[in-house]
């Protein structure tokens, strides 16, 4: 039976349908299927979430700065309070199960904030939508990290679709990849069996890039266990 991966329910506007299809196909290639979890913190949604074998926290709009103790700055982008609340209760419910969790873009940011960390509300030069399938800058994988074990590469060319990033690191998180200008590009939860999160979007590169697909393969294999 295919592992079932929970994802927060995303809107059905054309752009979001395109974006979420990339996650679905990346997971499908790894032998998993997606179950969309409703955003409301109801008993039925919590039961549906906890029945899943893994949780993927996807990309999206900015997180409300009040969640990490800051006022909203001028260059902070669009905020979705309902989605913030939804992903918060999902993390509260799912992390204690010790089932695998994968965070992507906003996902790494939400995980970091949930663990008590902070974000850079705006950084320049880290958003290049046109190169989403090929990559536009390099990241270095920290030697000896879980990510190096998975990818077996010291350096990767990745894409970049964000203007925010991890600042102060949250509790129990460790950096395992950084960009050339020092931005945190991947973290691991040190007290969790499998909790990895990335600032780049491997789902846009995974169809043609075996290394990026391997991220999903490893996640899904962990979900099978």
Residues noted as catalytic: 105, 201, 203
Helix axis angle, 106-114 relative to 81-94, nearest 10°?
60
Cross-strand partners of 37: 8
Q: How far apart are CA 75 and CA 60, in angstroms?
A: 16
Cross-strand partners of 161: 127
Structural Rg of the chain based on CA atoms: 16
* Residue of 130, 118, 129, 131 lying closest to 184 (CA atoms): 118
């Amino acid at each position: 039976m295919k592992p079932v991966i929970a994802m927060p329910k995303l809107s059905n506007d054309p752009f979001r349908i395109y974006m979420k299809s990339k996650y679905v196909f990346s997971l499908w290639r790894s032998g998993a299927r997606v179950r969309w979890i409703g955003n409301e913190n109801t008993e039925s949604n919590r039961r549906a979430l906890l029945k899943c074998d893994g949780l993927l926290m996807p990309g999206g709009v900015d997180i409300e700065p009040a969640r990490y103790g800051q006022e909203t700055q001028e260059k902070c982008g669009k905020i979705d309070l309902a989605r913030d609340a939804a992903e918060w209760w999902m993390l509260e419910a799912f992390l204690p199960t010790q089932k695998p969790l994968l965070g992507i873009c906003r996902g790494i940011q939400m995980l970091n904030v949930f663990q008590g960390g902070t974000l850079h509300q705006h950084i320049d030069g880290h958003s290049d939508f046109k190169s989403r399938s090929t990559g536009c800058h390099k990241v270095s994988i920290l030697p000896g990290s879980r990510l190096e074990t998975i990818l077996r590469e010291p350096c990767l060319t990745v894409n970049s679709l964000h203007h925010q990033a991890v600042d102060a690191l949250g509790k129990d998180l460790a950096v395992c990849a950084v960009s050339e200008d020092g931005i945190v590009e991947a973290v691991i939860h040190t007290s969790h069996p499998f909790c990895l999160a990335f600032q780049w979007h491997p789902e846009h590169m995974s169809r043609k890039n075996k290394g990026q697909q391997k991220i999903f393969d490893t996640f899904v294999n962990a979900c099978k266990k």
